[in-house]
């Protein structure tokens, strides 16, 4: 028995339908904790190098953490991993909801799927009973509809994850949906599940998770809830959730606008958190054991239709309300709903739509090729494009379904400069031409341009912390260059600290927002880990493992992607060559020499070589010598 964990790894080979249950290795728990750590270790050890992401040999991993399913704030996170169809490198994506805890109650910390089911199938897990069932009647159905039907068939107590038609068609940014609105959105993991012919996974667990000191863990867990409820932001943050940041991001000139052409909009008051509450929300919708639910479930009505949906959260608002320029929260919510039903990531889906519209406006794509007149700010255009792309309709839809990187390489004519991605993963909701630390965070995030690995925009906005403008305004003289170097090093340090802190929660299996939004102290998590598992780990110990996992994910991408290194850490040329044309950050961009200064400082601080590959000394220092031979 390993306290805190369910104790079993479930392996399902979908081709042979062989099911293996093996004991969870205590050494892996000690060295990699759980969640993202389990994903990275398993991919490194078991993924055959150079496997195509859609080959049946690709792994699909579901992993929980030691704190998942326990009585403490927001213990509902579930992690997914595979080789990414979007980037060709390391992929993980996580979601809230109730699935991971249910998997643990059923007895499994982790499930590893290999092979490909012969026909469309669903996996039904009910404690020790595992079934692969035919799913012809569900294939082709939307993610939300499929979940509703499965709940009716299996029962309310099953926790269900589904893919939509886009996952079935292996759209490279297809997501996994759960609980009528939670998604593991990024890196195209839904497409990998689709490639394995798996439409849904349902789990019901009635078992108990062993705890080292159940009385003490109960007491500490209750205290943790009380501490969170006493934080000053507790009452203020929840009503709007992440959407509450919309006005601020716009005010500081970081709001992605019209495919990141600029960074400020005038209609923010029509799409902000207040409008979500006024016009959309029916109820707050919480993940497992979450005291501060960011999920807003509601209803929207537009000229294109009406729908029940969860959201929109900030990222969806930024990408559909800003980058696609939709004018009202109802329209943003409807686009959100359509993505959810198709089963595509709202961030990438909106980005590909915005990229297409800019191509059209610039004359790089014709109306004949697109099949429709498409415009920023027009919901009908966005709905048309999402269906075109999400269902791989027409030759162009099929191309765009591979993401902006692949599409721009095919369209050419300079479109690569405004294909907003890093490593093939579309950029999320913060425009960074006057935010070098956040820019560096996007450049170096291990899955591509994602914000959840490091969020340091606040440092850039404060300015004094990083002397941000010393970097951006540096000339070529030695005096200003010296200041720029100092700024680059400060940015690198902030980013690295954040890249260890935030993903540490992805090891534990909890949400990080109680720390990030309310300031619930990290020491609480170390204490809860210890009383639940019976193993002493300080928060610093957990951060060390977080660094080890970060190094490992870099090594996985370096192994899988040809000529991996610095060349893939740059943002699109728009951010280094085109000064922001309007808004608070008018005139700013970050030239290549400064991007390189930041990368130099970052690699040096991490102990990577000048091409961004971890050195042997670093591999040894972080504790990977035994694994990485």
Residues at the site binding other proteins, with contacts judged by CB under 8 A: 69-71, 98, 101, 105, 144, 148, 156-157, 179-180, 205-211, 214-215, 218, 222, 225, 228-229, 282-293, 295, 297-299, 308
* Residue 181 CB, nearest approach to other proteins (Å): 8
257 or 316: CB nearest other proteins: 316
CA 500 – CA 210 distance, rounded (Å): 28
Other Cβ atoms closer than 10 A to 233: 14
5 or 430: CB nearest other proteins: 5
Is the distance from CB of 185 to CB of 313 less than 8 angstroms? no
216 or 469: CB nearest other proteins: 216
* Residue 276 CB, nearest approach to other proteins (Å): 14
149 or 364: CB nearest other proteins: 149
81 or 205: CB nearest other proteins: 205
29 or 112: CB nearest other proteins: 29
* Residue 502 CB, nearest approach to other proteins (Å): 22
φ, ψ for residue 92, nearest 5 deg: -145, 155
CA 446 – CA 19 distance, rounded (Å): 32
145 or 628: CB nearest other proteins: 145
* Residue 624 CB, nearest approach to other proteins (Å): 32
* Residue 292 CB, nearest approach to other proteins (Å): 8
* Residue 95 CB, nearest approach to other proteins (Å): 15
CA 600 – CA 250 distance, rounded (Å): 30
Number of alpha carbons in the 13 Å side-chain half-sphere of residue 411: 31
Other Cβ atoms closer than 10 A to 137: 13
* Residue 116 CB, nearest approach to other proteins (Å): 31
* Residue 145 CB, nearest approach to other proteins (Å): 9
Please report, for residues 83, 250, 280, 352, 387, the alpha-carbon distance to residue 378 in angstroms, rounded to integers and kept in the order given: 35, 20, 20, 15, 15
70 or 423: CB nearest other proteins: 70
159-162 and 129-134 as β-strands: parallel, antiparallel, unpaired?
Answer: unpaired
CA 349 – CA 422 distance, rounded (Å): 15
Cβ neighbours of residue 268 closer than 8 Å, sequence gap 6 or more: 246, 247, 250, 255, 321
* Residue 129, strand partner residues: 126
353 or 518: CB nearest other proteins: 518
Please report, for residues 14, 130, 203, 479, the alpha-carbon distance to residue 122 in angstroms, rounded to integers and kept in the order given: 10, 11, 11, 63
* CB-based burial label for 300 (10 Å; 0-12, 13-18, 19+): buried
* Residue 293 CB, nearest approach to other proteins (Å): 4
73 or 397: CB nearest other proteins: 73
* Residue 73 CB, nearest approach to other proteins (Å): 8
SS3 422: strand
31 or 284: CB nearest other proteins: 284
DSSP output for 254-313: ---BTTTTBS--S-GGGSSHHHIIIIIEEEEE--TT-SS--EEEEEEEETTEEEEEE---
CA 88 – CA 173 distance, rounded (Å): 12
SS3 370: helix
Number of alpha carbons in the 13 Å side-chain half-sphere of residue 427: 32
- Residue count (the chain): 629
* Residue 198 CB, nearest approach to other proteins (Å): 22
Is the distance from CB of 392 to CB of 385 less than 8 angstroms? no
């Amino acid at each position: 028995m390993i306290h805190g964990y369910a104790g079993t790894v479930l392996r399902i080979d979908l081709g042979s339908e062989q099911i293996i249950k093996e004991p969870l290795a205590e050494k892996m728990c000690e060295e990699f904790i759980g969640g993202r750590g389990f994903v990275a270790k398993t991919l490194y050890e078991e993924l055959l190098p150079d496997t195509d992401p859609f080959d049946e040999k690709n792994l699909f991993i579901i992993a929980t953490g030691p704190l998942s399913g326990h009585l403490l704030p927001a213990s509902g996170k579930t992690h997914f991993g595979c080789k990414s169809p979007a980037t060709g490198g390391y992929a993980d994506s996580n979601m809230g909801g109730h699935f991971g805890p249910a998997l643990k109650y059923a007895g499994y910390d982790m499930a590893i799927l290999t092979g490909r089911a012969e026909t469309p199938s669903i996996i039904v897990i009910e404690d020790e009973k595992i079934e692969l069932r035919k799913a012809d009647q569900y294939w082709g159905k939307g993610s939300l509809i499929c979940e509703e039907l499965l709940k009716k068939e299996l029962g309310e107590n099953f926790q269900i994850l589904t893919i939509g038609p886009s996952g079935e068609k292996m759209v490279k940014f297809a997501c996994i949906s759960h609980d009528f609105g939670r998604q593991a959105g990024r890196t195209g993991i839904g497409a990998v599940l689709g490639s394995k012919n798996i439409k849904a996974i349902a789990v019901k667990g009635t078992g108990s998770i062993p705890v080292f000191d159940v009385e003490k863990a109960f007491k500490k867990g209750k205290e943790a809830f009380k501490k969170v409820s006493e934080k000053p932001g507790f009452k203020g943050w929840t009503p709007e959730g992440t959407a509450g940041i919309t006005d601020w991001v716009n005010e500081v000139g970081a709001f992605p606008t019209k495919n990141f052409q600029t960074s400020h909009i005038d209609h923010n008051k029509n799409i902000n958190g207040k409008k979500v509450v006024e016009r959309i929300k029916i109820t707050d919708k919480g993940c497992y054991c979450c005291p501060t639910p960011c999920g807003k479930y509601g209803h929207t009505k537009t000229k294109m239709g009406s729908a029940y949906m969860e959201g929109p959260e900030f990222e969806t608002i930024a990408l559909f309300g800003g980058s696609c320029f939709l004018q009202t929260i109802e329209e943003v919510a409807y686009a959100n709903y359509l993505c959810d039903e198709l089963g595509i990531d709202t961030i990438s889906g909106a980005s590909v739509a915005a990229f297409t519209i800019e191509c059209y406006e610039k004359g790089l794509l014709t109306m004949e090729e697109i099949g429709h007149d498409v415009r920023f700010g027009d919901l009908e255009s966005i709905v048309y494009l999402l269906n075109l792309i999400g269902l791989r309709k027409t030759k162009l839809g099929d191309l765009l379904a591979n993401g902006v990187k692949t599409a721009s390489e095919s369209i050419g004519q300079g479109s690569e400069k405004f294909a907003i991605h890093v490593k093939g993963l579309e950029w999320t909701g913060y425009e960074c031409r006057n935010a070098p630390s956040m820019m560096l965070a996007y450049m170096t995030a291990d899955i591509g341009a994602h914000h959840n690995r490091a969020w340091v925009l606040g440092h850039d906005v404060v300015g004094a912390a990083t002397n941000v403008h010393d970097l951006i305004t540096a000339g070529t003289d030695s005096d200003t260059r010296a200041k720029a170097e100092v700024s680059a090093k400060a940015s690198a340090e902030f980013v690295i600290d954040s890249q260890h802190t935030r993903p540490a929660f992805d090891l534990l299996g909890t949400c990080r927002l109680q720390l990030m939004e309310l300031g619930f102290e990290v020491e609480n998590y170390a204490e809860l880990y210890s009383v639940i598992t019976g193993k002493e780990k300080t928060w610093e110990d957990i951060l060390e493992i977080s660094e080890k996992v970060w190094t490992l994910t870099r090594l996985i991408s370096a192994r899988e992607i040809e000529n991996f290194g610095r060349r893939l850490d740059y943002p699109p040329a728009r951010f280094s060559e085109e000064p922001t044309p309007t808004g608070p950050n008018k005139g700013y961009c970050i030239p290549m020499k400064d991007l390189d200064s930041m990368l130099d400082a970052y690699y040096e601080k991490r102990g990577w070589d000048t091409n961004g590959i971890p050195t042997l000394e670093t591999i040894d220092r972080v504790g990977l010598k035994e694994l990485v031979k």
